[in-house]
Structure 1
Amino acid sequence: MSGIAGVYQCRQPVSETSLRAMADAMKHRGPDGSNIWLDTRIGFCHNMLYTTPESLFEQLPAVSHDNQIAITADVRLDNREELFALLRPERLPLNRLSDSQLILMAYLRWGQECLDRLLGEYALAIWDKRNDHLLIAVDPMGTCSLHYVQTSSLFAFATDIKALLAVPGVEKKLDEWGFALQVSGHKREAPERTCFAGVKRLVGGELMLIKPPGENRAAWKVNKQAYYELKPATLVCKSPEETLDAFRETFRQAVRCRMRSAYPVATMLSGGLDSSSVTCVAAEYSHITSSPLFSVSSCVSDADPEEDEKRYIDIVARHNNLPVHYITPSSGPASWLHQVHDMTATPINSNPHVYTALYSKIREGGGRIVLDGVAGEWGPSYNGDGYLLWLLTKGRWKTLFNTMSELSSVYSIARGHLLRREILSPLEPSLLRRIRHTLRGYNQQERLPPLNPRLHYRSQTKAGGQGFLHSDMRSNRLHTVATGRTPKEWYAPYYQVRSSFPYLDLRVQRFCLGLTEDWFIKDGWKRYFIRAAMENILPAEVQWRKDKKPFSPSYYRLMQMDSEKYQTFLQSIQGNDPVRDYIDVNRISRTIKTLDRRGSWRPYQGVDFARRVVDYGVQSIAFLQWFQRL
């Protein structure tokens, strides 16, 4: 993804040096050039990554013909034809107009209301000299990063946090609550929060209007608002077949628009329903695009045969006559311990040893766009969690009994086990659950992340509990999507790759939120809707597979191989090291010794010690050390 940044000073002119420092802090985002625009008290910089054909001649930042409006944006628009028809620009044909030019023209026509007419993935900034204000915004699903900071003398924004820290006057200080929320797994409770005090992020569907202090204002006037409210679509299909046909068309649009590329396009292919569906639909359109299509997959070694997904990956590849490039991780997450935080600026990072190798393979293949199956479970691939309990609360006894019988038959699960897991356990009072776990020898403290008690208590108190939040499943699904509208680009920008997510397409999510609950478990099949929708698209062996092999055995084995590295790292932490104020270093060390004695780092009594204590704990320490070095 491209990188954008800017500074708005209330009194002093913005220096080109400051803007250049911001651009340099995210230079990995600008393999195709970096430009700066200045207008006394405000300035933008843009690091360019070419992806679409139109971006090849795009120049950003850009200004209007009268120099009154300036724009910089990281954007891919999916309704270009619609906007072109409404705007009717003279002289230039659509294929000579970049996405940012269309947004600039839309702003000149409709002002900030132009955001209501945009469809796609974007983070943008527009300076309006006529009205003396700055507008920044991100798309409704929050797929593009945009952070900001405000002091008494300036307002700054940037794709990457490190770019904000390069601005003179921006203080580097740890946000303890933000740090605790991320380490404890409660970041959804405050998605705008980062680990840097004063630095926030815009989440999906938010905009900010910023005006400087003036004659009638002693301070900045900052108006932050949600310009888009996520709501379920109203589906008017007359039959199940019409519903499936309508979804297939919506999903095809979501995939097709993300394949608009001047370079080869890649897909992440794991052999599961979500990634295979994206790959198969992309393959339908590969013959009508000028961009070659290939897939990348992580293939386990012979040491982990129980989790090998290569059979299903190969089935999808043969079905679509598609080349697949495999990677096999030979080292665990410890190998990236001292590099990953410079990429993400977050304490907890998922499987860097796998994803960095995949993005590297995409770059080797010339790809700049990768289609990722992330968030399928939010929409068409929702597995129906809570459905049996929902049937109980609605008094649909016959449907409940039949559904349990069908699930038992398809998945070979005893109905009594389904009853305990899906109905009785969610209804069990927390006090009774704690007593039962104690009687069985479960140590509740072992389930907690290795935060010091002060931070753990604060994160629990601030975040509150989660669980079965609402009486209807649609509200639960809406809550999941609405609180997850934050960027998911991870390590891709460091490999000059733009991650794109068809399941996070606004049209796809609204469509799926409009589905009734009976679509997700049917005829004994979980994730029924995606299975039915992919009829004659997915190979049958993948469409109706009952399980998905986990990558976790390889993960635990690789972590176990790095046990000595982890212990050496922990032993290097002195007794007076400030990281001990936040992380229980001794507990992590004890856990490693316990795992080594057991002979396996896999979960024990339902607790994932390796990931939750060791990986998250060591990553958090490395993050704090990285933070101190900034």
Structure 2
Amino acid sequence: MSAIYGIFHSDKKSVSPEHIDQLAGAYNSIPVDNVQIWRSNNAFLGCHQQWITPESVGEQNPLYDSKQELTVTADAIIDNREDLASLLGIGSKALKTMTDTEIILLAYKKWGDSCPSYLVGDFSFFIFDQKEQSLFGARDFSGTRSVYYNFQDGAFSFSTTIKPLLNLPYIRAKINEKWLSEYLAIFGMIETIEANSTIYEGIFQLPPSHSIIVSKGKLTVKQYTSNVFCSSKGLKSDSEYEEGLRDVFQKAVNSRVRTHRGIGSHLSGGLDSSSVLGFAARALSESGKDIHTYSYVPIKNYRDWTPRNRIGDESSFIAKTVNYISGVEANYLSFQESNSYNEIDNFLDIYEMPYKFFENSYWVRGIYEKAQTDGVGVLLKGARGNWTVSWGPALDYYALLVNRLRLKKLVNEVNLYSENIGIGRKQLYKIIMKKAWPKVHNALRPDQTSPPTLINEEFADRSKVFQRIDDSPINLNGTKTQSFYQARKDHFHYPIIWNTTGTIGTKLSLKYKLQDRDPTNDLRVVQYCNSLPEKQCVRDGVDRSLIRRITKGVIPDEVRLNQKVRGIQGSDGIARMASEWGNFNLELEQLVNDPISNEYLNVGLMKSIMTKNKEVPKPSYFFYGEFKILMRGIISYRFLKQLEGR
């Protein structure tokens, strides 16, 4: 993977050498294997290369085709190379050494601006057509690789990250109040309702599943076809469905362990990361490569306070997986001195914008740091698994049975599910009925209050943020639906939901010179899983049924069949911050008295929360909405101060 950047003057003005140096020079702090730049009079493309795949070693990127006068710069790993080779007429011998950048250029020659819809993998790229004087770019379907741009006075500038664009003298670091108002108003994890916006006015990001064309002084952004919803496969037996998922998942994993460097894998005690590790071990069984696993564990002397169906320390489940799968070098990482509060400056520097996912920030970055020292080039994960390979929400499925009047089946399923998870049937039926008839449930509870909001009331009125949110597909909680089935459709339909994961993954990968790769997010896997009938995913009182069936013999049964407890990562969050609680409160006092906070933040709400938390609160407070308000307030405050140069 790489950092890519460039400038194109559609008015045919010459690109200033100073602007090239300013844009490229901003990447000099990241570790690279090579730096290459291509330029003509009115365009230049650049790439700070990080060689992850064997084919990328020593590659030409940007790559120039003198015959057709096309130049491509790519931040990409393409996973369906064999399929593309067949479509593009590439022989097997040539494919072994052909770079992904070359494949992208061949795809563009054949399919033009439709080429992104043929690509499976993690990518962003730009292609300059010197004859047509046009620039074409694209970002992969889920936005795994970020790319930002600015277009003004005929000059189009783009970059993998934001800060290089701010190095250009004609781009100002001015707050985009529309973005900020949405970030502050929305309590859920979604940052904004517009997939192309950023915290900076005039700087945009190309949304996932979108391409961009700059030609004749005009800019066009459009969504290309990446159909993630497919009709049912109509297979005849359970074994056919199992074999289908096994094959496509193994193919996705095989594609993602393609590196000449070390292999690492995130590992919790759960089903998704364990399944990824198990399939990866099979893919590497003949290579002699070990897999480094990285697992977050709580600090020393941690006392588990979580409910009986939750577990704060997943070490026992992790150990079962590590001992079951051969060729694993396990790392249990507590990051003893780290916490969500003392990590804020690090993460603001990496993410380049205010962020919401503070709970796991310190160990996510810490794992990248440790993996870098181990020589890892690819870091596997199963982050999309809940929506793909391990899909199967039992209670929502049972709500469907209620509405379909499949009562005999419902009773049988609930009886088995109750026994499997250790929760009484009466309690389960209460939840199922709420899901089956949400309008009735909501009508019986008219006193439901809106979530807390971090935005200053006057700023909210001035920006009209609540009106915009009302007209959008989300609400203040981040979703307007109570159904997991509808939430899943929304998850794959709206690009705004994808941005955060890809953005932080890209920026961490550049800093630590390794690439996180998620086979549960493979487009082929997504399409297959979205075509499955519900009864394949929930059956016989077992949720996430299909993945549990195909991992028999791949991961230990204690993990594979576990339905009684689930991990809750970050449960030691308050304990980690205990020694810094005084500094935390001191900064909050500074925040509520600073004019810049009072302009944007709901300091009245923050003050009322602060009065209740002068002393270190109970451990569960880490997951309370009040604590989210305080932490996000400090994150926003520090960003605003940095922008002012303080």
> Could you tell me the TM-score, scaled by structure 2's length?
0.88
CA apart distance, 1:227:
3.6
Q: Does 1:619 align with 2:635?
A: yes
| Paired residues for 1:24-43 under 5 Å | 24-43=25-44
Give 1:252's aligned amino acid: Q
Question: What is the distance in 2 between the residues matched to 1:353 and 1:472?
Answer: 32
**Corresponding residue for residue 477 of structure 1:** 488
1:166-210 CA deviation, whole Å, 9 max, x = no partner? 223123222223223334234364332222223222222211111
| Paired residues for 1:133-532 under 5 Å | 133-183=134-184, 184=186, 185=188, 186-187=190-191, 189-213=193-217, 220-232=218-230, 234-289=232-287, 291-306=289-304, 307-321=312-326, 322-330=328-336, 331-348=338-355, 349-350=357-358, 351-384=360-393, 386-424=396-434, 426-428=438-440, 430=442, 432-435=444-447, 444=449, 447-454=451-458, 458-464=464-470, 465=474, 475-483=486-494, 484-486=497-499, 487=502, 488-489=504-505, 491-532=508-549
Question: What is the distance in 2 between the residues matched to 1:621 and 1:472?
Answer: 35
Please say if residues 7 and 14 of structure 1, whose CA atoms lie closer than 8 Å, have aligned partners that are also in contact.
yes
Question: What is the distance in 1 between the residues matched to 2:134 and 2:512?
Answer: 35
Q: Does the residue aligned with 2:571 lie in a helix, a strand or coil? A: helix
Which consecutive residues of structure 2, in runs of 5 or more, have no partner in the other structure? Answer: 305-311
Question: What is the distance in 2 between the residues matched to 1:343 and 1:88?
Answer: 41
Distance 1:163 1:227, change over 3 A: farther
1:285-319 CA deviation, whole Å, 9 max, x = no partner? 22333654211111212332422211111111111
1:405-442 CA deviation, whole Å, 9 max, x = no partner? 2222222222332233333263356565352x5xxxxx
Please say if residues 125 and 137 of structure 1, whose CA atoms lie closer than 8 Å, have aligned partners that are also in contact.
yes
1:133-153 CA deviation, whole Å, 9 max, x = no partner? 110101222211112222133
Question: What is the distance in 2 between the residues matched to 1:595 and 1:226?
Answer: 49
Distance 1:402 1:492, change over 3 A: same
Which consecutive residues of structure 1, in runs of 5 or more, have no partner in the other structure? Answer: 214-219, 438-443
Please say if residues 16 and 38 of structure 1, whose CA atoms lie closer than 8 Å, have aligned partners that are also in contact.
no
Equivalent residue in structure 1 for 2:568, among 538, 543, 550: 550
Q: Does the residue aligned with 1:257 lie in a helix, a strand or coil? A: helix
Distance 1:599 1:135, change over 3 A: closer
Question: What is the distance in 2 between the residues matched to 1:602 and 1:90?
Answer: 58
1:575-610 CA deviation, whole Å, 9 max, x = no partner? 453232111345335424413457415249x94322
Please say if residues 602 and 608 of structure 1, whose CA atoms lie closer than 8 Å, have aligned partners that are also in contact.
no
- Tell me which moved more, 239-248 or 37-46: 37-46
1:515-535 CA deviation, whole Å, 9 max, x = no partner? 122233322222222212212
**Corresponding residue for residue 307 of structure 2:** none
- Tell me which moved more, 46-55 or 32-41: 32-41
Question: Identity rate of aligned residues, in percent?
Answer: 23
Give 2:493's aligned amino acid: A
Please say if residues 20 and 36 of structure 1, whose CA atoms lie closer than 8 Å, have aligned partners that are also in contact.
no
Q: Does 1:115 align with 2:122?
A: no
CA apart distance, 1:30:
4.8
- Tell me which moved more, 452-461 or 514-523: 452-461
Give 1:422's aligned amino acid: I
Distance 1:511 1:176, change over 3 A: same
Distance 1:94 1:225, change over 3 A: same
Distance 1:505 1:615, change over 3 A: same
CA apart distance, 1:392:
2.4
1:451-478 CA deviation, whole Å, 9 max, x = no partner? 2224567444322355986899655422
Give 1:191's aligned amino acid: A
Question: What is the distance in 2 between the residues matched to 1:562 and 1:450?
Answer: 23
**Corresponding residue for residue 216 of structure 1:** none
Q: Does the residue aligned with 2:612 lie in a helix, a strand or coil? A: helix
Please say if residues 133 and 211 of structure 1, whose CA atoms lie closer than 8 Å, have aligned partners that are also in contact.
yes
Please say if residues 123 and 137 of structure 1, whose CA atoms lie closer than 8 Å, have aligned partners that are also in contact.
yes
What CA RMSD, in Å, does the superposition of the two structures yield over aligned residues? Answer: 2.7
Question: What is the distance in 2 between the residues matched to 1:420 and 1:201?
Answer: 44
Question: What is the distance in 2 between the residues matched to 1:290 and 1:31?
Answer: 27
Distance 1:198 1:417, change over 3 A: farther
Distance 1:229 1:510, change over 3 A: closer
Distance 1:574 1:427, change over 3 A: closer
Distance 1:563 1:528, change over 3 A: same
1:257-289 CA deviation, whole Å, 9 max, x = no partner? 000001001000012111111011111122333
Please say if residues 79 and 120 of structure 2, whose CA atoms lie closer than 8 Å, have aligned partners that are also in contact.
yes
Question: What is the distance in 1 between the residues matched to 2:296 and 2:140?
Answer: 31
Q: Does 1:566 align with 2:584?
A: yes
Please say if residues 33 and 47 of structure 1, whose CA atoms lie closer than 8 Å, have aligned partners that are also in contact.
yes
Asked which structure has the greater RCO (Cα within 8 Å, sep 6+), the reply is 2
Distance 1:509 1:301, change over 3 A: same
CA apart distance, 1:569:
1.8
Q: Does the residue aligned with 1:338 lie in a helix, a strand or coil? A: helix
Distance 1:597 1:335, change over 3 A: closer
Give 1:399's aligned amino acid: K
Please say if residues 173 and 200 of structure 2, whose CA atoms lie closer than 8 Å, have aligned partners that are also in contact.
yes
CA apart distance, 1:499:
1.0
How many equivalent residue pairs? 614
Q: Does the residue aligned with 2:200 lie in a helix, a strand or coil? A: coil
Question: What is the distance in 1 between the residues matched to 2:22 and 2:55?
Answer: 28
- Tell me which moved more, 491-500 or 257-266: 491-500
Give 1:324's aligned amino acid: A
Q: Does the residue aligned with 2:376 lie in a helix, a strand or coil? A: coil
**Corresponding residue for residue 4 of structure 1:** 4
